[in-house]
Amino acid sequence: MDYRIPHVDRRGFMRAVLGGVAVRAAGQSAPVAVRPLGGGLFLLTGAGANVVVGTGEGGVAMVDGGTAERSRALLAAAAALPGGGPVHTLFNTHWHPDQTGANRAVGPSGARIVAHENTRLWLTTDVARPWEDRTFPALPEDALPNDTFYETYRTRVGGQRVECGYMLQAHTDGDIYVFFPEENVLVAGGVVSSDDWPLVDWWTGGWINGMVDGIRTLLDLCDDDTRIVPASGPLMARADLEAQLAMYGEISQRLRAIMYSGLSPADAVAERLTETYAARLGGDADFFIRRAFESMWGHFTPDA
Ligand SMILES: [Zn+2]
């Protein structure tokens, strides 16, 4: 059962939402799926990253914006939600294109774009990382975050409290979480993914031990009922986050020992540190290990 925006009627859409049915935007083949989280919050998937939308107040607040290629479909799906509408507030949990792809679409209309100040700075410059043959261009002025902070940020969305906080040098150097305490929904940003090995983006200030600390910060906010929204993959619970803390903690300690014994990233990959956990996460474990190992170079200094 598909609904094609904008021809969908509201009652039909509600049935689609409550049934967890995917919504297709006109002209786009891949669906954006909608899942209600309660309290006017919705999880939207299929836009390149997990997106949480808070409805009310004549529009929506959106936590992360998916990729630029998917932003049209995503914004159409957000507008068609019960209580939906145009985006008045967009949170960028970090600068990566999977999270900031809607900035160009919503910024020029005057939306508030909330981010850590370091995220804004990365988005003002072209970024070319040494492990890939690709450049991420700077965003135009009217697509940049225009409401930035360093440590914490509080606001209200659709009558709900929203609390944001910084995770120092984790996945990047601008990671924030966005917490909705009344619905007990925690959007974790790039520090956590539940279906893939994460990128430790040390080129823009992340590192593996910072990711471990970031997970600790998230755990401090959680109880057993908290629904945790990772950057990608299915919703997580506190126990899943504890398992990730143990896993990344162990991997980072072993990587540090490998580095202190004078070995290279290739040697670290050969140690197969992720083997025990291979069934847990898909994706490219070797890529993760290389970046995690390299991320330590700026923080630990082995004896010469
Ligand atoms: Zn990311």
User: 113 CA distance to ligand 1 centroid (A)?
Assistant: 17
User: 3 CA distance to ligand 1 centroid (A)?
Assistant: 30
With 0-12 CB in 10 A as exposed, 13-18 as middle and 19+ as buried, what is 29? exposed
Domain count, the chain: 1
> Is 289 inside any structural domain?
no
User: 303 CA distance to ligand 1 centroid (A)?
Assistant: 32
Give the distance, in angstroms, between the CA of residue 122 and the centroid of all CA atoms in the same chain: 16
User: 104 CA distance to ligand 1 centroid (A)?
Assistant: 18
User: 13 CA distance to ligand 1 centroid (A)?
Assistant: 31
CATH of the domain at 67: 3.60.15.10
User: 37 CA distance to ligand 1 centroid (A)?
Assistant: 23
> Is 248 inside any structural domain?
no
CA–CA gap between residue 196 and residue 209 (Å, rounded): 18
* Reduced 3-state DSSP string for the chain: CCCEECCCCHHHHHHHHHCCCEEEECCCCCCEEEEEEECCEEEEECCCCCEEEEEECCEEEEECCCCHHHHHHHHHHHHCCCCCCCEEEEECCCCCHHHHCCHHHHHHHCCEEEEEHHHHHHHCCCEECCCCCCEECCCCHHHCCCEEECCEEEEEECCEEEEEEEECCCCCCCEEEEEECCCCEEEEECCCCCCECCCCCHHHCCCHHHHHHHHHHHHHHCCCCCEEEECCCCCECHHHHHHHHHHHHHHHHHHHHHHHCCCCHHHHHHCCCCHHHCCCCECCHHHHHHHHHHHCCCCCCCCC
> Is 243 inside any structural domain?
no
The one-digit pLDDT tens for each residue of the chain (304 residues) are 233 333 333 444 444 444 344 444 444 457 899 999 999 999 999 999 999 999 987 899 999 999 999 999 999 999 999 999 999 999 999 999 999 999 999 999 999 999 999 999 999 999 999 999 999 999 999 999 999 999 999 999 888 999 999 999 999 999 999 999 999 999 999 999 999 899 999 999 999 999 999 999 999 999 999 999 999 999 999 999 999 999 999 999 999 999 999 888 898 898 888 887 866 677 789 999 999 999 999 898 766 5
With 0-12 CB in 10 A as exposed, 13-18 as middle and 19+ as buried, what is 173? buried
User: 7 CA distance to ligand 1 centroid (A)?
Assistant: 34
User: 94 CA distance to ligand 1 centroid (A)?
Assistant: 7
User: 75 CA distance to ligand 1 centroid (A)?
Assistant: 20
User: 2 CA distance to ligand 1 centroid (A)?
Assistant: 30
Q: Can you tell me which residue has the tokens 């290389």?
A: 290
User: 301 CA distance to ligand 1 centroid (A)?
Assistant: 27
User: 193 CA distance to ligand 1 centroid (A)?
Assistant: 9
Type of residue found at 20: G
User: 40 CA distance to ligand 1 centroid (A)?
Assistant: 26
pLDDT tens per residue across span 163-189: 999 999 999 999 999 999 999 999 999
> Is 223 inside any structural domain?
yes
User: 85 CA distance to ligand 1 centroid (A)?
Assistant: 27
> With the CA atoms of 54, 194, 137 and 143 taken in that order, what torsion angle do they form, in degrees rounded to the nearest 10?
10
> Is 154 inside any structural domain?
yes
> Is 297 inside any structural domain?
no
User: 201 CA distance to ligand 1 centroid (A)?
Assistant: 8
> Is 272 inside any structural domain?
no
Domain assignment of residue 220, given as a range: 4-238
> Is 290 inside any structural domain?
no
Angle at 17 between CA 72 and CA 183, to 5 degrees: 95
User: 9 CA distance to ligand 1 centroid (A)?
Assistant: 35
For residue 116, what are the contacts with CB-CB under 8 A and spacing of at least 6? 94, 148, 149, 150, 166, 174, 175, 176
User: 4 CA distance to ligand 1 centroid (A)?
Assistant: 30
CA–CA gap between residue 63 and residue 124 (Å, rounded): 20
For residue 214, what are the contacts with CB-CB under 8 A and spacing of at least 6? 167, 168, 170, 171, 175, 191
Is the pTM here over 0.75, yes or no?
Answer: yes
User: 29 CA distance to ligand 1 centroid (A)?
Assistant: 25
For residue 269, what are the contacts with CB-CB under 8 A and spacing of at least 6? 286, 289, 290
User: 231 CA distance to ligand 1 centroid (A)?
Assistant: 7
pLDDT tens per residue across span 14-62: 444 443 444 444 444 578 999 999 999 999 999 999 999 999 878 999 9
